[in-house]
Amino acid sequence: MISAAATGYSFISRLLPFLLLLLSVACHGTEMKLQHETPTTLRIEALSRGRGVPPQTHQAYLKIKDLLIEAQKQGMQLNIRENTIGLEGETRLCIEFSDPTDAAALLEKIESTATGIDLLNIEARRCQD
């Protein structure tokens, strides 16, 4: 006669490698997802409400643009395009980063510059030219 404890142990010992493999795959998938959360493309827009881009918004936009240009001069691999998108000074910056680590470092600075600024949109998406 086989005891219940021995049967349970045998079942667990056969199931354990499968469970470890499943856990490994699940964790690996999570790591991959986290690595790609930092965007490698950004769209930054200075907008208006019918009276032109507000001075505070324009100043923050220029500060972000200068930050990007300086990073490029320091050797960071990024592509910057600027387009006028309206009649009242509305402008769009399109940024593509080669390295997600660089993107993360600059995104933090960009977000701190844009905090509390009205009509300055920052989106993690490609520009549609």
DSSP letters of 1-28?
---HHHHHHHHHHHHHHHHHHHHHHHHH
CB 26 within 8 A of CB 90: no
The whole-number pLDDT of residue 39 equals 79
d(CA 117, CA 57): 6
Q: Is residue 129 part of a domain?
A: no
pTM here is 0.69
Verify that 33 and 45 share a domain, yes or no.
Answer: no
**Mean pLDDT, residues 65-78:** 96
**pLDDT beyond 50 at 33:** no
User: 86 lies in which domain range?
Assistant: 41-123
**Total domain count for the chain?**
2
pLDDT averaged over every residue in the chain = 81
